[in-house]
Structure 1
């Protein structure tokens, strides 16, 4: 993680103002930081002392089960809070969050934790965020039942690609989308045959964004 310079800080705070999230002056508790692609924002099992608000980028949320198996739970995309449950003390240890792209976050120190937990304006904002988050998670599970893989995979590729390239692990995505390895490979091959994707050494390149977007929009 890199704390950005005063100049970059001013740029991002002007571009993504969050003063209206709080009823007190948050500036003294706030930093703007950058995570490189593949960097861990939270390592699983840690207890974060920072609340992050992602303003640019994408990340993956992981969980390790008792049997040692690691599952991809959710793709995270700006704007969103990270570490909000830990702030509320509902979870002592966090799940793992790893960036998919270069990611810019506003970092809010828990030095102002008591102020945050008594700030009606902030808590109202957090409640709205948590409600929307729950709705999205419910929607994802119902989509797995209601739509064919072609639509769900198109939407997933849009979400997880970086600079027009999709290269997620097949086994991870099979579990996330609830499909067999064979079915996933079949649809990826179908997308290549239809010239939506092109398979190269560094991943699948999106060559027909319009067609991919059309398939994804079926479930939006």
Structure 2
């Protein structure tokens, strides 16, 4: 992670105004930072001292179970808060968040925590976000029950690909989508046969974005 320059800061504040999230002056508590692809925003079990608001990029949310197994819980996409539960909850040890693409975030130090937790404007914004987050998780569950893998995988590839290349770990995606390894490989092979994807050394390249979108749109 690195902090952006004053010029870059002005650019992103103009592009993504955040002042109306708060009823107090947030600027003294705000930095704008960039995470490289594959970098950890939060290490699992860490004690976050910042609230992040992702304005560009994508990331993955992980959790380690008591038996040592690591699960991919969700894909995170801008715009969204990260670390909001830790801000609200005294038990602040976090799950792991790792970037999928280069990611730009507003970073708010928790030195203004008391201001945040008594700011009606901010709390209203946070409530709306948490409601949307809960709705998304419910929708993901119902989609897993209602739609075939072809549609769900197409939507997932569209979301998780970076610069037209999809290269997520099969084992993680099987668990995330609730399918067998064999079924996932079958559908990927089917997409390649239909020239939607092409398998190369560095991942699956999207060859027919229109057809992939048509499949994905079935569940949107």
Fold shared, TM-score > 0.5 on shorter chain = yes
Q: How far has the Cα of 1:90 moved from its partner?
A: 5.2
Distance 1:214 1:115 in 2: 46
Superposed, 1:24-35 pairs within 5 Å as 24-35=24-35
Relative to the length of structure 2, the TM-score reads: 0.99
Q: How far has the Cα of 1:47 moved from its partner?
A: 1.0
Q: Which SS does the other structure have where 1:145 is aligned?
A: helix
Superposed, 1:54-203 pairs within 5 Å as 54-89=54-89, 91-203=91-203
1:61-107 Cα offsets, whole Å, 9 max, x none, are 00000000000000000000000000002542100000000000000
Relative to the length of structure 1, the TM-score reads: 0.99
Q: How far has the Cα of 1:14 moved from its partner?
A: 0.4
Q: Which SS does the other structure have where 2:61 is aligned?
A: strand
Cα RMSD (Å): 0.6
Q: Which SS does the other structure have where 1:204 is aligned?
A: strand
Gaps of 5+ in 2: none
Runs of 4+ in structure 1 off by over 6 angstroms are: none
Q: Which SS does the other structure have where 1:216 is aligned?
A: helix
Gaps of 5+ in 1: none
Distance 2:33 2:158 in 1: 25
